[in-house]
Amino acid sequence: MTELVVIHVDMDAFYASVEQRDRPQYRNKPVVVGGDPKGRGVVSAASYEARKFGIHSAMPCSQAARLCPNIVFLPVNMEKYKKVSRQIHSIFREYTPIIEPVSIDEAFLEISDGNPIETAKNIKKDILLRTGLTSSVGVSYNKFIAKMASDMRKPDGFTVITPEKARDILPRMSIRKVWGVGEKTERDLNNIGIFTVKDLLEYDREFLLSNWGRRAHELIQLCRGIDYSPVQTEQETKSISEETTLESDTDDLGVLRNCLREFSLAIGRRMTKQALKCRTITLKIRYNDFKYITRSVTLPNPIDSSLLIYERSSEILKDRVPLLKPIRLIGLQVSNLVYPGEPVQISFI
């Protein structure tokens, strides 16, 4: 795909911005939408004023209160956010039927007719006029680069990246900004001297492929600005998972729990982004002899808390996973998902 046909729209600090819009007294003030700072609640969204203090989603609200004593805490009002999201998506449909919702506040659009740049500007303008909210918009020739573009000038940004511009920007970009590079992958790449896209493209290809296989091929393609994934108009997440092959086989509960903690935070962030809850938690274990087991628990009430996911998965590990031989791979999955609009009471613990 060489034409500029993909638009990525990402609402700016969506939950917090909706609250600041509806409560003028909190505009231009640090605002957190989330749980009780006196309990074990977590940050669901932070305004840009709050982010200046280092506050981010999935952070314990108690920690956010310590970072910014004057911060305003507001409870989640999911019904209101879903209503605004539907309003935004109705604007999208006025311009194209090819829409891939990524979450309640983010979507890819494919524009096959007219001028995509002008279309993107009009969409951004309509969102502001009809909802009073700002968005950051990226326009490019594939989804990965369009997403990168929308992230470049937040908040209230508008960025167009042509193939020529992508070839100039990509080499200087941190490897962490490439899709799919999380903390562990970034750490592994940093350990062999890869910190930027340029570093990866100049690294020995055979070494990368022999150590990371298909994942290395995908990273190399993305670092070259190549992404063939289509804008999918109908897509429903069935599960969210994280897994890792350990650097060395282990039966150390502390090491395994650290993995679960990292997985729970990553999964929790993705669930928060899509306004999802889960009912089922599954632990996957592969031993050093390559035999593997899965152990699951289905909860009476759905949850969306990283802390609760970690606690439940740790219980599975402790009570239901035999450590009679070393483990080489550990994975965590949440499923039986509850989507926005289903009649479930929001609860932050």
The pLDDT-based confidence of 39 (bands split at 50, 70, 90) is confident
| Whether pLDDT at 345 is above 50 | no
The pLDDT-based confidence of 341 (bands split at 50, 70, 90) is low
| Dihedral angle computed from the Cα positions of residues 217, 162, 157 and 134, in that order, rounded to the nearest 10 degrees | -90
11 pairs with which residues across the strands?
A: 135
What is residue 3's predicted lDDT score, i.e. its pLDDT? 80
Of the two residues 339 and 141, the one the predictor is more confident about is 141
Tokens 């369009």 locate to 146
CB-based contacts of 86-91 (< 8 A; 24+ apart in sequence)? 87/130, 87/131, 88/9, 88/11, 88/127, 88/131, 91/123, 91/126, 91/127, 91/130
- pTM value is 0.68
Which residues form the catalytic set? Answer: 106
- Work out the mean pLDDT of the chain and round it to a whole number: 90
Could you give the CA distance from residue 194 to residue 182 in angstroms, rounded to a whole number?
A: 14
Of the two residues 4 and 30, the one the predictor is more confident about is 30
Q: Which domains does the chain have, with CATH numbers?
A: 6-14+78-164 (3.30.70.270), 17-74 (3.40.1170.60), 168-223 (1.10.150.20), 239-338 (3.30.1490.100)
The enclosing H or E element of 333 equals: strand 327-338
Tokens 């669901």 locate to 44
What is residue 202's predicted lDDT score, i.e. its pLDDT? 96
**pLDDT tens-digit readout, 56-82:** 887 888 999 999 999 999 998 988 999
